Amino acid sequence: MKELSSLQIERLKYQPKLPSSLAGGINSLKLTEGNKTECVKDAEQIKKLFENTYGKPVVTFETSNTTESAPERNIGVILSGGQAPGGHNVIAGLYDALKQSNPNNKLFGFLGGPSGVIDGKYIEFSDELINAYRNTGGFDIIGSGRTKLETEEQFEKALDNCKKLNISGIVIIGGDDSNTNAAMLAEWFVKNNANIQVIGCPKTIDGDLKNDQIEISFGFDTATKTYAELIGNILRDANSAKKYWHFIKLMGRSATHVGLEVALQTQPNITLISEEVEAKNMSLKQIVDYMTDIIVKRANEGKNFGVALIPEGLIEFIPEMKTMIANLNDVMSTLEQDASYNKLTVPADRFNFIESRMEKENAEVFESLPVLIKAQLLMDRDPHGNVQVSKIETEKLLIEMIKVRLEEIKAQGEFMGKFSDQCHFFGYEGRCAFPSNFDADYCYSLGYNAFALMKFGLTGYLSSVKNLSAPAQEWIAGGVPLTMMMNMEKRHGQFKPVIKKALVDLNGPAFKILEENRQKWAMEDKYIFPGSIQYFGPSNVCDITTETLRLENAAKRTIAAV
């Protein structure tokens, strides 16, 4: 018997809230179709690759006055990619909807991510198993993985294993790459008359899987609240000890949604936004000068302390670094089978060899970097063949450059303070936290809604629940075609269809709040200490969602009212 904490015992009892359109029951739904859709970019190429699933309409659900009986079905579910709080509740919502539709329905969980459906590794869910994981964090109920679904052989194996279990639908719970898998699999199944539907669910704590139909990816709310608690604690410590500058790198490889949201919740002295750095064409030197200026001004007021938030993917958004890394990725993709490179064992020799293959300006940028950063840039690539940005200690690079700049300013007699640094990286701390009430409700609704999409015969869709800053009963349930979010991007040196990442909107209301308050927060220590996630108590404490979502939906309502 698994040991349970007192909190987990109470969380297992929590009954997630559903939108009113779904709360009437899975067999009492009416579907409404909108207009046909187009992808965000590269329409001709995407349409050609997804001939059978392209251009479908957005759909929404309403409660029907009639109740229909449902045939017996078997469904499979996959957890894919990195963990995010609430994944277990997506499965619980899917399971409850499936059993409500027909008690004889079965739900199979493929083990270890997408590889489970290829290798035929699975479990059948039972009431006992599902009930032991309701409202809990993590993906440990069936595990996850990052296997790409893209080859004919993989698709054929997936089909064979689904046939053995009489599975007529698969739900893939994941982020942009995982739901690209879902789109590819859905297209292949339709093309080959497999009669197996594929529905995705939007997961990623990075927050970069969003659009007008997907207001927020699940896990983002819980993760940012978890990070905000930790950073709030550090802010209070900094303000108490008054002797350290804390440089905090935050998870979020391609977008700074996490950093922006946490900044709104805590109001640190410095918040770097990758998208702003790129838009302003800022060099590494300009970033260092900006940060150093704040450190000097605070020191001259007797404040030799502060907190700076640094996005995990910052280095790729600095134009000179982005260009260099893109060139480096291309070079490294050709060196995997290069015997003359692979026999080199001395790091300096490897650096020189790579520089000789790079374009001149990019080679100069690479050559100028500290040895530590060079080595981190050459670590094993990610599944897409790119630099593993999370392993680059950008915060240490900035600290070392700031120290050099401070010495220069000190020599000019313009800096009389002290600079002592502390480094942190918050990433894994937020991925498997107990889901907030919002994520518990949202994830349960996404899973329940995924089965609703299957009931109406849809495939190649992403489960969508909108109007999320309102009470759960007012949420709008439906689905958005996966192809609607796709474009072509370069992966391993080749252009492939992928779901387009949503970056921070520099004209959006969330960033504008940061921009308006940046100078005040830099100097006046307007710190906020949000504390831990609350699960029990008044709704205005326990059921609140992110500042970003609140601001964005308020802006939408204002525009709609004009």
* pLDDT 10s digits, 126-170: 999 999 999 999 999 999 999 999 899 999 999 999 999 999 999
The predicted-structure confidence for 472-491, as pLDDT tens digits, reads as follows: 999 999 999 999 999 999 87
pLDDT value at residue 491: 77
Q: What is the 3-state secondary structure (H, E, C) of 412-457?
A: CCCCCCCCCEEEEEECHHHHCCCCCHHHHHHHHHHHHHHHHHHHCC
Judge if 12-219+435-499 and 220-312+393-433+502-562 fold alike in CATH terms. Answer: yes
What is the number of other CB atoms lying within 10 angstroms of the CB of residue 556?
A: 15
In this prediction, residue 383 has a pLDDT band, given cuts at 50, 70 and 90, of: low
In this prediction, residue 387 has a pLDDT band, given cuts at 50, 70 and 90, of: confident
pLDDT value at residue 385: 67
220-312+393-433+502-562 CATH fold: Rossmann fold (3.40.50)
Rg (CA), the chain: 25
What class, spelled out in words, does domain 12-219+435-499 have in CATH? alpha beta
Share of the chain above pLDDT 70, in %: 99
Burial (CB count <10 Å: 0-12, 13-18, 19+), residue 2: exposed
pLDDT value at residue 253: 79
Range of weakest confidence among 185-189, 434-438, 440-444, 494-498? 494-498
CA distance 479 to 470: 19
CA distance 394 to 251: 12
pLDDT value at residue 189: 98
Q: Which of 96, 176, 177, 206 is catalytic?
A: 206
> Which of 93, 207, 89, 211 lies closest to 466 in space, CA to CA?
211
Query: With 90 as the cut, is the pLDDT of residue 561 above it?
Result: no
pLDDT value at residue 381: 72
319-388 CATH fold: Arc Repressor Mutant, subunit A (1.10.10)
| Helices 319-335 and 347-357: angle between axes, nearest 10 degrees | 100
Check residues 330 and 22 and name the one with the higher pLDDT. Answer: 22
Do residues 419 and 245 lie in contact, with contact meaning Cβ atoms separated by under 8 Å?
yes
Q: Where are the beta strands (DSSP E) in 182-294?
A: 197-202, 245-250, 270-271
How confident is the prediction for the chain on average, in pLDDT?
Answer: 94
Query: With 60 as the cut, is the pLDDT of residue 262 above it?
Result: yes
**For the chain, what are the domain ranges?**
12-219+435-499, 220-312+393-433+502-562, 319-388
pLDDT value at residue 316: 86
Place of tokens 């995990």: 312
pLDDT value at residue 263: 98
Confirm whether 206 is a catalytic residue. yes
pLDDT value at residue 384: 63
